[in-house]
Amino acid sequence: MALEDRPREKLLYRGISSLSDAELIAILIGSGNLEETAVELSQRIMENVKNNLHELSKLNVDNLKTYKGIGDAKAISIVAAMELGRRRNHAVALELNKINGSVDVANYLRPLMGELPHEEFWALFLNRQNKIIDKQRLSQGGITGTVIDVRLVLKMAIEKHATALVFAHNHPSGNLDPSEADRKITHQLKEAGTFLDIPLIDHLIITQDGHFSFADEGLL
């Protein structure tokens, strides 16, 4: 491999934007195996996830170790890099901190839940200016669903002096259609919030590619 085509040297001489995703991964892992260079191994990994970084971020250490030449240290480096990317996206979303509509909620929470292989249910607690004063993961479950305690949610809202609520959960399947259980819990949360004068502004279903808003669809 020509010196200028080696990932590290290429970054130095041509800039980081000149590197492909596979070349960036090759820098992380450092070396390949007896049959493949680090770049070739990284290209094969990317091909197996359809050259999609979202799909790569779903792989865990054990998944990555199935590739010859990838041990604990290399797998951990890739997983850590993916997590840093997620946290960077969330840090950008934190700058918003005010909810003007469903797109704001989706942009704020997608870095936390959009790529998860399991379902999670989150609450955003808002003040009178619709600014986020706190967020809380309420439940974490398997791919089939989660369970939340409506009374506990409203208790937290009162303790945090919230004046409005937004809820969101992800669908790992990518399907944005609300289930009957989704509709039922939305109705329960709305009724409980109305009784305590802490209105439910919206409930979103979030995937890595889109979102469904109960408010936008007139279901609140």
In a domain, 218, yes or no: no
The Cα 124–Cα 119 span in angstroms is 17
pLDDT digits (tens, 9 = 90+) for 208-218: 889 999 999 99
Same domain, 15 and 82: yes
Same domain, 125 and 200: yes
Same domain, 9 and 112: no
Residue 55: the pLDDT is: 86
Q: Of 43, 68, 90, which residue constitutes the final position of a domain?
A: 90
Residue 106: the pLDDT is: 93
Q: Which residue has the tokens 């997590």?
A: 83
Confidence (pTM): 0.61
Same domain, 115 and 209: yes
Q: Is the pLDDT of residue 129 over 90?
A: no
In a domain, 219, yes or no: no
Residue 4 pLDDT level (bands cut at 50, 70, 90): very low
pLDDT digits (tens, 9 = 90+) for 174-185: 999 999 989 999
Q: Is the pLDDT of residue 143 over 60?
A: no
Q: How far separated are the first and last CA of the chain, in Å rounded? A: 60
Residue 85: the pLDDT is: 83
Same domain, 103 and 209: yes
Same domain, 71 and 123: no
pLDDT digits (tens, 9 = 90+) for 71-102: 999 999 999 999 888 777 666 555 556 788 99
Least confident span in 55-59, 74-78, 87-91, 203-207: 87-91
Same domain, 81 and 131: no
- Number of structural domains (the chain) is 2
Q: Of 42, 67, 90, which residue constitutes the final position of a domain?
A: 90
Same domain, 76 and 133: no
Q: Is the pLDDT of residue 1 over 70?
A: no
CATH of the domain at 116: 3.40.140.10
Residue pair 148/185 in contact by the 8 Å Cβ criterion:
yes
Range among 60-64, 87-91, 108-112 with highest mean pLDDT value: 60-64
Same domain, 135 and 197: yes
Q: Which residue has better confidence, 117 or 67?
A: 67
Rounded CA Rg of the chain: 21
In a domain, 40, yes or no: yes
Least confident span in 86-90, 130-134, 142-146, 209-213: 142-146
Same domain, 105 and 158: yes
DSSP assignment of the chain, as one string?
Answer: --GGGSHHHHHHHH-GGGS-HHHHHHHHH----SS--HHHHHHHHHHHTTT-HHHHTT--HHHHTTSTT--HHHHHHHHHHHHHHHHHHHHHHHTT-B-SSHHHHHHHHHHHHTT-SS-EEEEEEE-TT-BEEEEEEEEE--TT-----HHHHHHHHHHTT-SEEEEEEE-TT---SPPHHHHHHHHHHHHHHHHTT--EEEEEEE-SS-EEETTTTT--
Q: Is the pLDDT of residue 41 over 90?
A: yes
The Cα 209–Cα 191 span in angstroms is 30
Please give the average per-residue pLDDT across 162-172, as a whole number: 94
Which domain does 183 fall in, by range?
99-213
Least confident span in 108-112, 190-194, 198-202: 108-112
Q: Is the pLDDT of residue 44 over 50?
A: yes
Please give the average per-residue pLDDT across 19-26, as a whole number: 94
Residue 54: the pLDDT is: 82
